[in-house]
Amino acid sequence: MLSYRHSFHAGNFADVIKHIILVEILEYLTQKEKPFEYIDTHSGAGLFNLKSADAKKLEEHEAGIGRISQEDFPEIDRYFEVVHSCNPSIHTNFYPGSPSIAKYFLRPQDRAWLFELHPQDYKLLSNSMKQQKKIRVACEDGLKGLDSLLPPMSRRGLVLIDPSYEIKSEYDQVVSAVEKAYKKFPTGTYAVWYPVVDRSTIDRMERKFIRSGIKNIQRFELGVSPDSSERGMTAAGMFVVNPPWTLLDKMSQLLPRLAQALGENGHKLFKCDLLSGE
């Protein structure tokens, strides 16, 4: 479980879809002055050097953030704004993880709780957030830590859950964690990232969410190639509970264009739908 390092994959197509949605939700939450709390159960290192040995080994960012531009996608200018804020020059040499994206949007009245179990990534994350009094970093199991933070004092919040899923049982653990959290904090927004390596596993995860009784669940998925049992991750997506009311319409217009830009060999694969109504 602790062998996974996101530094090898930062900025890939899965990050693009995940972080676009994260930015949309955070931007929506900041439209009101009332404070909110951000909880990140699997935070990672927080910021990634795309020129590092890890990133250059696979260079997955070249087929992700490297294929899209603010000029071609002005509707997601805040996403590019966050990415650019991490780079001192016009070149994208650094890519923000979810903690850095959240930090960009947090105001003095907001708070964040970041969990990371990998000791090296925890150290990197702690160092990058040490000047942030409104952000707490813990080397703990984020799914267990989540339970102790709900409901938040502000009664407004976003929970991001994006484990590596190296262990197959994590798929079921994630659904169970969201079910438990939803009972304590039914008005919160929950964004659950998933990789499509085995489609049947994601189908089972989808059915579990639909049968859970949780209301207002939307699903957004971006694929770069058809499902296959031979080539690893072919798509990635997010289940979002209590999304902003603007999200479905925006993603329904954006995803076809993203799929065209990031798909391999002309493939244009995406899903954008409502799994459970309000």
Whole-number Cα distances in Å, 168 to 14, 154, 226: 19, 34, 21
How many Å apart are CA 203 and CA 7, to the nearest integer?
A: 28
How many Å apart are CA 141 and CA 224, to the nearest integer?
A: 31
CB 149 within 8 A of CB 39: yes
In sequence order, what are the residues at sequence separation of 6 or more whose Cβ sits closer than 8 angstroms to the Cβ of residue 187?
155, 156, 242
Evaluate the omega torsion of the peptide bond into residue 195 and state whether it is cis, within 30 degrees of 0. no
From the candidates 162, 198, 249, 273, give the one annotated as an active-site residue: 162
For residue 208, the surrounding DSSP H or E stretch is helix 199-211
Whole-number Cα distances in Å, 120 to 3, 58, 108, 235: 11, 20, 29, 28
Strand partners, 221: 237, 271
CB neighbours of residue 90 within 10 Å = 6
Please confirm, yes or no, whether 162 is among the known catalytic residues.
yes
In sequence order, what are the residues at sequence separation of 6 or more whose Cβ sits closer than 8 angstroms to the Cβ of residue 131?
none
* Catalytic residue set: 162
